[in-house]
């Protein structure tokens, strides 16, 4: 099966048969929110809610809309950013050279389009290096004078997270390169994975010990590598394959295949499956071969990466804002199986959204057993024509929760039943309804006491991306509520050891006396630490609808305290870069609720600080400078670009005025670029931005252009 080119949904077409801007604008906003939520679940929770195929469809739909209306493109759009830029408390580690993501193609026709774009550069006898796309975790290894000093995740492409002790425990990764003349510094790129043959045995051991299991080898690799205790990582059979060097030109190498030879000579683990193809026919043959052989390889793969082999040709082709033009990832079609849909049930999330999901006869697909799949909303069930009891097609590409493609109608027996969306919340009984006219999603309005919403909000605030409360997951959150230790999240920081003794989950018997477990002690310690977390994390922990990490960080930078945010009017809130009218209205609505105020008051009484704890930057090279950033900059997200300014004492403004010192213009810049020209403000491109950061204000003025 091959995924087809995305077509515009009929809902976005107006009466004249044209794509409606108003409808496209609304759908664009929805898609950005949906994609960012899925990225959070994938990168932070390691628990994706949709299949790779469904996620790719969302991105393709977004790209199609932005192609029709380029004015909708913003620097924060998922099409302009790398996905893994969620922070944790692992130390941030800058990459000397950006770790770019890759653009994807899904069919031979799309691959042919990429070959045509390469051909337009006029190279003769192009060679392509083909390698397997490992379904693992991207890692950069830094060796200094041949010694492994740092290992970091990709993060946002510019800055990753330091996981050095954990990576050093991986079998096959040398702590010292096997060469007498190592480079002074070299960054080596690769993928950490969990061998597929060892995965089932590992999961079986977890099951026997009563611990949560992993859904697939990719999640096992990510979860194992992101352990705070390196001894846990060392106990798991992680492996790594390296495939590139951050800046190969520094080593005088001519091609990607030269890199493979050098990496092997240095004692690093390289894949035996790469191939240099002399033409597109050989590339296609390589793709076909490994599509047929994908389950015979030691690690999971979800496609093939094709790179122009010559570095000289790569340099001429260059990069877009987030990906190299000289490389492409050909993604294999997702696998499909059939199973029986036993039931359709409904879950309720932390914001009250009621989501139908399929409960299926367990079936093994892409290396893991699956029995649940999201169905998003009641309209999705109707659109796909699914009945309870149907034999269904299940499509999955190594994900936790796969996609139900549709029913096998010819196998129906007449005993199948139509799904009816409940009118009441399945957990608290409150009436479900749309929040506003036109909403497809139904929500439970009982935010204060609905067990499902309470449980999900506690799980969210405890997650690594928010407050990072150790040992407080789904089971712990459920125990806190069921055993009446807390009424809601307002009590979370008031928990004491004596309270936990009421719960079997948090206790054990020691010499016939009930004591709290080590995990319970870790939870209490983490809660104490969380009281002094940065303001933006605490703001996220309040579960205000639409307020994710990006908006929370922007609000914290602008207002410095929760009280200042609470008392600001909607106009002031909306003017903050990255906030806007929707988030401003959501903030105002949240603060207007009495029991929300009680959460804040109880947290403060327990010692939570809602003041910005940041200190003045040690680097004041840009002190007093006012900078506006518009468009996408290679290697930066919007947050990391602004952080680069503010960490040096500068200020990032949301609009261009005569007081603006520099306007940094990246790819797909908006109206601010024209405003800079109209007001004759100094303009910097991506390279000028790097000059500003590394050499200072005067050097940047020397390379800036002046609008007129």
Q: pLDDT per residue over 691-707, tens digit each?
A: 899 888 998 998 888 86
Enter the DSSP assignment of 19.
Answer: B
Q: What pLDDT is stored for residue 506 in this prediction?
A: 96
Q: What is the CATH number of domain 10-72?
A: 1.10.287.610
Task: Take residue 290 and report the two structure tokens written for it.
Answer: 């490994």
**Residue that wins the pLDDT comparison between 50 and 183:** 183
Contact yes or no for 200/208 (Cβ under 8 A): no
Contact yes or no for 78/36 (Cβ under 8 A): yes
Q: What is the reported pTM?
A: 0.51
Q: Which candidate in 133, 307, 396, 533 is catalytic?
A: 133
- The CATH superfamily of 451-530 is 5' to 3' exonuclease, C-terminal subdomain (1.10.150.20)
Other CB atoms closer than 10 Å to residue 23's CB: what's the count?
A: 16
How far lies 242's CA from each of 137, 173, 177, 182, 261, in Å? 12, 9, 13, 17, 11
Q: What residue spans define the domains of the chain?
A: 10-72, 92-331, 335-418, 451-530, 535-605, 626-706
CATH topology of domain 92-331: D-amino Acid Aminotransferase; Chain A, domain 1 (3.30.470)
Residue 126 exposed, middle or buried by CB count within 10 Å (0-12, 13-18, 19+): middle
Calculate mean pLDDT across residues 210-229: 79
Contact yes or no for 302/331 (Cβ under 8 A): yes
Is the Cα dihedral 465, 467, 472, 473 positive or negative?
A: negative
The pLDDT-based confidence of 406 (bands split at 50, 70, 90) is: confident
- Helix%, strand%, coil% for the chain, nearest 5: 40, 20, 40
Calculate mean pLDDT across residues 128-142: 95
3-class DSSP assignment, residue 342: strand
Round to whole Å and give the CA distance between 500 and 522.
12
Mean pLDDT, rounded, of the chain: 87
Q: What pLDDT is stored for residue 614 in this prediction?
A: 52
133: annotated active-site residue:
yes
Enter the DSSP assignment of 517.
Answer: -
Calculate mean pLDDT across residues 41-67: 78
Round to whole Å and give the CA distance between 98 and 96.
7
Decide if pLDDT at 339 tops 50.
Answer: yes
The pLDDT-based confidence of 596 (bands split at 50, 70, 90) is: very high
Degrees, nearest 5: CA angle 28-29-33: 115
Half-sphere exposure of 602 (CA within 13 A, CB side): 17
Round to whole Å and give the CA distance between 673 and 685.
11
Round to whole Å and give the CA distance between 690 and 704.
12
Pick one of 2.70.170.10, 3.30.413.10, 2.40.50.140, 3.30.930.10 as the CATH number of 335-418: 2.40.50.140
Round to whole Å and give the CA distance between 323 and 28.
22
Decide if pLDDT at 398 tops 70.
Answer: no
Of 43-47, 117-121, 572-576, which range is least confident?
43-47
Calculate mean pLDDT across residues 532-540: 92
The pLDDT-based confidence of 615 (bands split at 50, 70, 90) is: very low
DSSP lists the bridge partners of residue 310 as 255
Angle, helices 280-293 vs 108-119, to 10°: value is 150
Q: Give me Rg for the CA atoms of the chain.
A: 26
Residue whose token pair is 């006898």: 125
Residue whose token pair is 């003045």: 616
Range 534-543 burial, b when 16+ CB lie within 10 A, else e: bbbbbbbbbb
Other CB atoms closer than 10 Å to residue 367's CB: what's the count?
A: 18
**Residue that wins the pLDDT comparison between 55 and 260:** 260
Q: What pLDDT is stored for residue 199 in this prediction?
A: 85
Task: Take residue 456 and report the two structure tokens written for it.
Answer: 């999900």
Helices and strands (DSSP H and E) totals, the chain:
25, 26
- How far does CA 65 lie from the centroid of its chain? 21
Contact yes or no for 240/295 (Cβ under 8 A): no
Decide if pLDDT at 284 tops 70.
Answer: yes
Round to whole Å and give the CA distance between 677 and 680.
5
- CATH architecture, domain 626-706: 3-Layer(aba) Sandwich (3.40)
Residue whose token pair is 């192009």: 126
Round to whole Å and give the CA distance between 533 and 612.
9
Q: What is the CATH number of domain 535-605?
A: 1.10.150.20
Q: What pLDDT is stored for residue 46 in this prediction?
A: 61
Decide if pLDDT at 578 tops 60.
Answer: yes
Winning range, highest mean pLDDT, from 298-302, 369-373, 567-571: 567-571
- How far does CA 482 lie from the centroid of its chain? 32
Q: What is the per-residue pLDDT across 173-193, written as a single tens digit (0 to 9) for each?
A: 999 999 999 999 999 999 999
Calculate mean pLDDT across residues 680-691: 90
535-605 matches 451-530 in CATH topology: yes
């Amino acid at each position: 099966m091959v995924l087809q080119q995305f077509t515009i949904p009929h809902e976005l077409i107006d009466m004249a048969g044209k794509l409606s801007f108003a409808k496209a604008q609304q759908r664009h906003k929805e898609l950005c929110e949906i994609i960012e939520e899925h990225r959070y679940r994938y990168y932070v929770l390691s628990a994706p809610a949709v299949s790779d195929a469904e996620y790719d469809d969302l991105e393709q739909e977004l790209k199609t809309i932005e192609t029709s209306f380029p004015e909708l493109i913003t620097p924060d759009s998922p099409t302009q950013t790398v996905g893994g830029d969620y922070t944790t408390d692992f130390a941030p580690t800058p990459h000397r050279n950006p770790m770019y993501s890759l653009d994807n193609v899904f069919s031979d026709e799309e691959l042919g389009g990429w070959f045509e774009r390469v051909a337009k550069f006029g190279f003769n006898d192009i060679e392509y290096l083909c390698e397997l796309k490992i379904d693992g975790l991207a890692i950069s290894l830094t060796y200094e004078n041949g010694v492994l000093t740092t290992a970091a995740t990709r993060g946002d492409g510019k800055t990753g997270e330091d996981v050095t002790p954990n990576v050093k425990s991986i079998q096959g990764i040398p702590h010292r390169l096997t060469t007498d003349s190592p480079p002074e510094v070299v960054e080596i790129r690769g993928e950490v994975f969990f061998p597929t043959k060892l995965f089932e045995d590992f999961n079986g051991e977890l099951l026997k010990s009563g611990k949560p299991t992993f859904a697939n080898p990719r999640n096992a690799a990510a979860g194992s590598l992101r352990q705070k205790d390196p001894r846990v990582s060392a106990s798991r059979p992680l492996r790594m394959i390296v495939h590139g060097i951050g800046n190969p030109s520094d080593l005088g190498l001519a091609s990607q295949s030269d890199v493979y030879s050098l990496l092997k000579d240095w004692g690093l683990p390289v894949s035996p499956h790469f191939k240099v193809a002399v033409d597109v026919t050989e590339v296609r043959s390589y793709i076909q071969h490994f599509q047929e052989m994908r389950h015979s390889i030691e690690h999971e793969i979800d496609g093939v990466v094709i790179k122009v082999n010559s570095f000289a040709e790569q340099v001429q082709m260059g990069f877009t804002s987030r990906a190299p033009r000289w490389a492409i990832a050909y993604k294999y079609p997702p696998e499909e199986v059939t199973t029986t849909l036993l039931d359709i049930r409904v879950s309720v999330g932390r914001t009250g959204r009621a989501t139908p999901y399929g409960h299926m006869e367990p079936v093994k697909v892409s290396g893991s057993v699956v029995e649940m799949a999201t169905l998003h909303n009641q309209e999705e069930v109707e659109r796909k024509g699914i009945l309870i009891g149907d034999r269904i097609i299940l499509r999955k590409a190594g994900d936790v929760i796969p996609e139900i493609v549709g029913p096998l109608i010819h196998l129906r027996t007449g005993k199948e039943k139509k799904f009816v969306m409940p009118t009441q919340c399945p957990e608290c009984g409150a009436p479900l309804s749309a929040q506003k006219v036109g909403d497809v999603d139904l929500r439970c309005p009982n935010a204060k006491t609905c067990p499902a919403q309470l449980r999900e909000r506690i799980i969210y605030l405890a997650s690594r991306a928010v407050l990072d409360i150790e040992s407080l997951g789904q089971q712990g959150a459920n125990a806190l509520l069921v055993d009446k230790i807390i009424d809601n999240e307002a009590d979370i920081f008031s928990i004491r050891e004596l309270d936990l003794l009421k719960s079997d989950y948090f206790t054990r018997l020691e010499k016939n006396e009930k004591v709290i477990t080590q995990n319970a002690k870790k939870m209490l310690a983490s809660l104490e630490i969380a009281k002094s977390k940065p303001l933006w994390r605490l703001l996220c922990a309040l579960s205000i609808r639409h307020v994710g990490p990006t908006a929370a960080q922007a609000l914290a930078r602008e207002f410095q305290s929760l009280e200042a945010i609470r008392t600001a009017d909607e106009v002031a809130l909306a003017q903050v870069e990255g906030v806007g009218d929707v988030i401003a209205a959501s903030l105002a609505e949240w603060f207007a609720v009495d029991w929300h105020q009680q959460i804040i008051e109880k947290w403060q009484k327990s010692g939570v600080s809602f003041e910005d704890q940041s200190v003045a930057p040690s680097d004041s090279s840009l002190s007093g400078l006012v900078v506006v950033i518009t468009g996408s900059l290679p290697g930066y997200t919007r947050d990391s670009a602004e952080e680069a300014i503010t960490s040096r004492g500068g200020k990032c403004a949301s609009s261009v005025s005569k007081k603006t010192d520099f306007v940094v213009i990246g790819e797909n810049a908006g109206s601010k670029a024209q405003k800079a020209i109209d007001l004759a403000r100094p303009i910097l491109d991506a390279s000028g931005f790097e000059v500003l950061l590394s050499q200072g204000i005067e050097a940047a003025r020397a390379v800036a252009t002046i609008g007129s």
